[in-house]
Amino acid sequence: MMVLKIDESKLLTDMYSDEYFPNHLVDKVKSILLTACKEIESQKPKKLEELYTITCQATELINDLQAKLWTLFG
């Protein structure tokens, strides 16, 4: 099992403390970001294009959650 170098305890603390953001959706964002971090740390991209592939996937998944947020407040 890979041990991440990122300190998970500090990740998205402001979103968790803000009542606007439902914790279950923040949990999903956190999971997406941690997955991206694991991919970056394991793949060690050497070119920006390789890094962009990983971060673009994470961005698209997070953007998909925006629709869920809007349905909660719509």
Query: Would you say residue 64 lies in a domain?
Result: yes
Query: Would you say residue 6 lies in a domain?
Result: no
Query: Would you say residue 12 lies in a domain?
Result: no
Domain with 61 in it: 20-25+50-74
pTM of the full predicted structure? 0.83
**pLDDT tens-digit map of 47-58:** 999 999 999 999
**pLDDT tens-digit map of 4-25:** 677 888 889 999 999 988 999 9
Name the band, by pLDDT with cuts 50, 70 and 90, for residue 3: low
As a whole number, the mean pLDDT across the chain is 89
Closest listed residue to residue 3, CA positions, set 30, 32, 42, 31: 42
pLDDT of residue 1: 58
Residues 1 and 46: their CA atoms lie apart, in Å, by 23
**Tokens at 46, concatenated:** 């050497």
Q: Total structural domains in the chain?
A: 1
